[in-house]
């Protein structure tokens, strides 16, 4: 009996996928609900499980081919499992190979070995050979780990000073002085030498051509559509992070001990954005045809960078979440995204996006909209900057904020006012708990 393997429903607006990789080979045993094939969609990768236990039969679609929802991928033969469990184990048995000086010879019961082909023994007198259970191999070799002591190379004072100024790695330099002392001339010779080609150039040549994944193609398409279809504009502001950092430093240990999660900056920003969205509903809205759809729920999309590309999982009903709930959900979604286990449901339904380029060191940027949303907030690196406070110049931790928005439904006044609320909420974090 065979069961069909078909392309499952892939979510809203997703009608096709690419067969990324077959996880099992034809004729290989499979268990029920065991992943058989990985499909790559416009948004996420999906694993298709086996409907029954058995043997993977015919594979209808090769890797790299595009399939539609409901298309046949292959079959699973349930009868193959019974054959393998009974017949193959007996008839395909092969005794383990003997290893020299390691495995003791097998012990057989005493028997008469008939060497001559002419003498025929009776069936009742045929000897019965019994194999004793083979004892596992025990490695008796003891590997002693020796401490590897890093021997620091001797360097002359002049060479040491030059190395500190030029940031030269002394470990790659062979000293020409007495007893291998690195001299100033050795560093200068290295600095004047021709650099070696990059490792990628050596491995792949001057150029390498790689086919774009469906996820990367979709990202490129959506970003281009956002630029072409939206009247996109960006406004900026800066926020003094002193109070947030002070509160976080004061309560982070108690917070972690109570909720088993670290207190980060993102929860403050999510809470601040929710207050701003409640005051300016157009920023939480979207255009559908000739209508504006105002969303009275606050699903915040959090941009996460992965090795496969940028994904934007969604925190749902953030206005009803505590700080601990936000931090836990952000951590879970981020880990799922990096592990490639994010689902389509995790990416749908967002009303506003926050992207944090600051974790990569970005000072300032103009983030691109995440359609059909109408606005996105860009966070950046926190840098100590001189600011004027009550007529005095003080050094404060400053972050630049950037709000990109669709000018078709969001006016400049709304965008600037929203960003001002976010700024005030972060500079006075107590406002977050008062919802003002």
CB 296 within 8 A of CB 348: no
Q: How far apart are CA 272 and CA 418, in angstroms?
A: 10
- The Cβ-side half-sphere exposure at 363, using a 13 Å CA radius, reads 3
Q: How far apart are CA 147 and CA 186, in angstroms?
A: 30
Q: Report how far apart, in Å, the C-alpha atoms of 132 and of each of 114, 129, 310 are.
A: 22, 10, 58
Residue 380 bears catalytic tag: no
Strand partners, 397: 384
Q: How far apart are CA 36 and CA 48, in angstroms?
A: 6
Residue 411 bears catalytic tag: yes
Q: What would the DSSP string read from start to end of 332-362?
A: HHHHHHHTT---HHHHS--SEEEEEGGGGT-
The alpha carbon dihedral of 172, 175, 180, 182 has a sign of: negative
Tokens standing for residue 265? 């900056």
Phi-psi label, residue 371: left if phi above 0, alpha if psi -120 to 50, beta otherwise: beta
Q: Report how far apart, in Å, the C-alpha atoms of 350 and of each of 203, 216, 225, 370 are.
A: 42, 20, 18, 9
CB 186 within 8 A of CB 173: yes
Q: How far apart are CA 369 and CA 341, in angstroms?
A: 24
Catalytic residues: 407, 411
């Amino acid at each position: 009996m065979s069961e069909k393997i078909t392309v499952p429903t892939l979510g809203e607006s997703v009608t096709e996928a690419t067969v990324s990789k077959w996880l099992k080979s034809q004729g290989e045993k499979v268990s029920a609900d065991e992943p058989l094939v990985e499909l790559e969609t416009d948004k996420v990768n999906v694993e298709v499980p086996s409907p029954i236990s058995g043997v993977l039969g015919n594979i209808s679609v090769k890797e790299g081919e595009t399939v539609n929802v409901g298309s046949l991928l292959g079959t699973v033969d349930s009868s193959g499992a019974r054959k393998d469990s009974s017949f193959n184990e007996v008839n395909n048995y092969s005794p383990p190979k003997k290893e020299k000086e390691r495995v003791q010879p097998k012990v057989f019961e005493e028997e008469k070995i008939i060497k001559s082909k002419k003498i025929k023994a009776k069936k009742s007198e045929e000897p019965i050979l019994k194999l004793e259970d083979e004892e596992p191999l025990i490695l008796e070799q003891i590997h002693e780990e020796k401490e590897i002591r890093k021997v620091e190379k001797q360097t002359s004072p002049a060479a040491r000073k030059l190395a500190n100024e030029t940031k030269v790695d002394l470990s790659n330099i062979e000293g020409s002085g007495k007893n291998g002392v690195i001299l100033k001339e050795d560093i200068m010779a290295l600095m004047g030498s021709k650099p070696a080609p990059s490792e990628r150039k050596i491995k792949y040549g001057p150029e390498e051509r790689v086919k774009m994944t469906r996820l990367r193609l979709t990202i490129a398409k959506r970003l281009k559509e956002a630029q072409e279809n939206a009247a996109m504009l960006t406004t900026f502001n800066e926020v003094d992070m002193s109070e947030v950092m002070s509160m976080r430093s004061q309560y982070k240990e108690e917070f972690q001990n109570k909720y088993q999660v670290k207190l980060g900056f993102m929860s403050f920003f999510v809470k601040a954005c929710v207050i701003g969205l409640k005051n300016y509903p157009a920023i939480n809205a979207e255009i559908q045809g000739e209508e504006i759809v105002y969303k009275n729920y606050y699903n915040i999309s959090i941009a996460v960078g992965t090795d496969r590309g940028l994904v934007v999982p969604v925190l749902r009903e953030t206005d009803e979440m505590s700080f601990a709930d936000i931090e836990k959900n952000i951590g879970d979604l981020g880990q799922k995204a990096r592990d490639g286990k994010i689902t389509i449901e995790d990416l749908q339904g967002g009303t506003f996006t926050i992207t944090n380029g600051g974790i990569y060191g970005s000072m300032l940027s103009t983030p691109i909209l995440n359609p059909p949303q109408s606005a996105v907030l860009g966070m950046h690196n926190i840098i100590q900057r001189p600011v004027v406070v009550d007529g005095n110049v003080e050094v404060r931790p400053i972050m630049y904020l950037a709000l990109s928005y669709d000018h078709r439904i969001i006016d400049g006044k709304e965008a600037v006012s929203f960003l001002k609320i976010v700024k005030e909420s972060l500079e006075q974090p107590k406002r977050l708990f008062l919802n003002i």
